[in-house]
Amino acid sequence: MVAGMEPVPAAVIEGADRLQVISRFGVGHDNIDVAAATRRGILVTYIPDAMGDAVADLTLGLLLAIARRIPELDAGMKRGEWRRVMGADVTRKSLGIIGTGRIGMAVARRAGGFRMRLLGYDPHANPVFVEELGGEYVSLEELLAQSDFLTLHLPLTAETSGLIGAAELARVRRTAFLINCARGALVDEDAVYAALTEGRLAGFATDVYPQEPPGPHPLYALPNVIALPHIASYTPATAARMSQAALENLLAGLRGDLPEHAVNPEVTRGAGSTINIFAPEAKQG
């Protein structure tokens, strides 16, 4: 199975008698019940490094767009308005990067072009962030309090779910902007809505949602919110790299090999379990 963003719960896994490999077409695997797959001896793979540039590009695009109110003013022009309003500066401002893995580091490199002060929070510090990019690791509390812009680049786990909630938003500057191109459930939507409507947060830009597509929520109708339909990886070059990597992982698993990016490498497959995916009987399944 090549899995996109659709849920792959235990019920699906338990009911798929011939399933041997789940190859995730994406950077995360929180939509797959990995424990259920492991119990069944099903290998799960993912692609952690194929979309970093595209996600980092979009993150900087959203940062600039929310700071300078680009969508809001564009919509006004198209309604025939000539309304000139102040935006927020980006150059030399503080950028708090929560998660300094591949994508977080790619964002940091781009932000360096704006001479931004780079603050990082990550339980697994990357020395390159400090030594090459001039970043500074701080506690989450310090990062929230000192950042003009906050961007999330963490996987969704039991520990990170709801990471940015009411208590965290109470620490941020009233002039700060929050950008999320990671996972929607990292952020408490109700808490963000309250912070925006009460003037305790300047703006919010997101490409991801706790449920996709999202249900109705007043948050996404606010003028200082930018909401995109999870399109960070939607570029031709990124799609080609992801397609190639997903198929390579799938075929490696069917051959009995261990792909480089296996979520549950303890699952091993012998040569006797290999399927010829080009055989007529395989095509029927």
Q: 217 an active-site residue?
A: no
When pLDDT is averaged across residues 138-165 and rounded to a whole number, the result is 96
Active site residue: 68, 230, 255, 260, which one?
Answer: 230
Told to judge if 92 belongs to the known catalytic residues of this protein, a careful annotator would answer no
Q: What is the Cα 80 distance to its own chain's centre?
A: 36
Percent pLDDT > 70 in the chain is 94
Residue 277, pLDDT score:
35
pLDDT at 49 over 90: no
Domain ranges of the chain: 2-49+235-283, 52-227
CATH topology for 2-49+235-283 is Rossmann fold (3.40.50)
**For the whole model, what pTM was predicted?**
0.85
**Burial class, 70, CB count within 10 angstroms (exposed 0-12 / middle 13-18 / buried 19+):** middle
Give the pLDDT of residue 282: 34
User: Would you give the distance in Å from CA 81 to the centre of its chain?
Assistant: 35
Residue 109 a catalytic site member: no
Three-state SS letters, the chain: CEECCCCECHHHHHHCCCCCEEEECCCCCCCECHHHHHHCCCEEECCCCCCHHHHHHHHHHHHHHHHCCHHHHHHHHHCCCCCCCCCCCCCCCEEEEECCCHHHHHHHHHHHCCCCEEEEECCCCCHHHHHCCCCEECCHHHHHHHCCEEEECCCCCCCCCCCECHHHHCCCCCCCEEEECCCHHHECHHHHHHHHHCCCCCEEEECCCCCCCCCCCHHHHCCCEEECCCCCCCCHHHHHHHHHHHHHHHHHHHHCCCCCCECCCCCCCCHHHCCCCCCHHHHCC
Average pLDDT (162-188) is 98
The arithmetic mean of pLDDT across residues 103-125, rounded, is 97
**Catalytic residue from among 183, 241, 261, 269:** 183
Contact by Cβ (8 Å): 13, 41: no
Reply yes or no on whether the pLDDT at 269 is more than 90.
Answer: no
pLDDT given for residue 280 in this prediction: 34
* pLDDT above 80 (res 7): yes
- Same fold for the domain at 2-49+235-283 and the one at 52-227? yes
Fold of the CATH domain 52-227: Rossmann fold (3.40.50)
